[in-house]
Structure 1
Amino acid sequence: MTTVRERPVLDAGTLVSDELRETIASDVRAKYGHITADVAGRGVGQMLAFLAASAATDKPLSPSPLVDDFWHAFVLRTKDYADFCQAAFGKFVHHQPGFLSREEHGGGKALRARTVEAIMAAGYAVDLEFWPELEIADCSQCHANCHNSPVQNIAQAG
């Protein structure tokens, strides 16, 4: 008989110090007054899980609009963000606005599903409240068309 052991699901929020996690959460709450402390704390974790998954793959992944808001807040703290990327991943995870080819990467829904699968494969918890597009949309990457790809493939509007 073969026994399958599931590995524990990791809380990506622990990738940064409590102080930095609270700072990012506070930055998001200051910009978006409707976000509660609970949502902000969980959002930082989902953003960090996204970054960890992004650092572990060569394929572009895409944040949900809400996760992207947390990523923007972290990126604006440039030194903290750069130091975190180097310490956690040994490389910088670029925030690359632009459009990805639907033919090459699938639509927004397929790209977002790949992102959630990558987060789970990396061993991190997925909080589906932060990924609602999986159920309803086949849209672009996020409201600002952000992704982690180091290759910029911008589609020009005709």
Structure 2
Amino acid sequence: MTTAVATTTRTGHSLVPDTDFNMLAAFCADEYGLERAVADRVVDQALALVFVMGTTGEGASMAPSQQVDPGWHTLILHTDWYANWCEGSFGYFLHHQPNSKTRTGGLMTEVVQKIRAAGFEVDDQLWGTAAECNPPACCGDGPCC
């Protein structure tokens, strides 16, 4: 018996209606001084991260990269929207418990692996896991920066 494996991936953007995504990305761009194209990438990755955290129950062992963190903040700053999205997506409110000291290259690699394993596209440059982001040319996370 042969098992088919899906080769297509999904995006964080695909988890929400376009109108919601555009509202969140526009806020992220404005609030954090990002170009809109960058804010789109950041919010996309934040949605994928939070979805994986919520559906796996592994939120306490995962963290966003420094570059993705503004995306999660964007989500939680829209409290009513975020609470409803969490409830509808995985059945409970996922609290934000910041601990930036946990951001290490190893943790970011583990988080990226979990996001990929859940079938999501990963923007390695935002996670510090792209080849050009390895020390000494670090992308902003961990002790090398």
TM range (shorter): 0.7 to 0.9
Structure showing the higher helix proportion among its residues: 2
Taking a change above 3 Å as real, the CA distance of residues 72 and 139 of structure 1, as seen in their structure-2 partners, is same
Q: Equivalent of 1:115, from 89, 111, 117?
A: 111
Deviations, residues 105-142 of structure 1 (Å, cap 9, x unaligned): xx7222111110110011100011211266236727xx
Partner of 1:31: 31
Q: What are structure 1's unaligned runs of at least 5 residues? A: 141-158
Q: Which runs of 4+ in 1 moved over 4 A?
A: 1-4
- Tell whether 2:72 aligns with 1:76: no
Q: Distance in 1 between matches of 2:37 and 2:99?
A: 31
Superposed, 1:4-153 pairs within 5 Å as 5-33=5-33, 35-59=34-58, 60-98=61-99, 108-132=104-128, 135-136=134-135, 139=142
Q: Distance in 2 between matches of 1:98 and 1:39?
A: 24
Partner of 1:147: none
Cα RMSD, aligned residues only: 2.4
Q: Distance in 2 between matches of 1:121 and 1:110?
A: 16
Deviations, residues 26-74 of structure 1 (Å, cap 9, x unaligned): 11111233x2222111221111110111113343111011211011011
Cα contact 1:12–1:46 (8 A) shared by 2:
yes
User: Which amino acid is 2:20 matched to?
Assistant: L
TM-score (norm 2): 0.80
Cα contact 2:108–2:128 (8 A) shared by 1:
no
**Higher relative contact order, structure no. (Cα contacts within 8 Å, ≥ 6 residues apart):** 1
Q: Distance in 1 between matches of 2:100 and 2:32?
A: 26
Mean Cα deviation higher: 9-18 or 51-60: 51-60
Q: How many residues are paired up? A: 134
Q: Distance in 2 between matches of 1:17 and 1:67?
A: 20
Q: Distance in 1 between matches of 2:99 and 2:32?
A: 24
Q: Percent identity?
A: 34
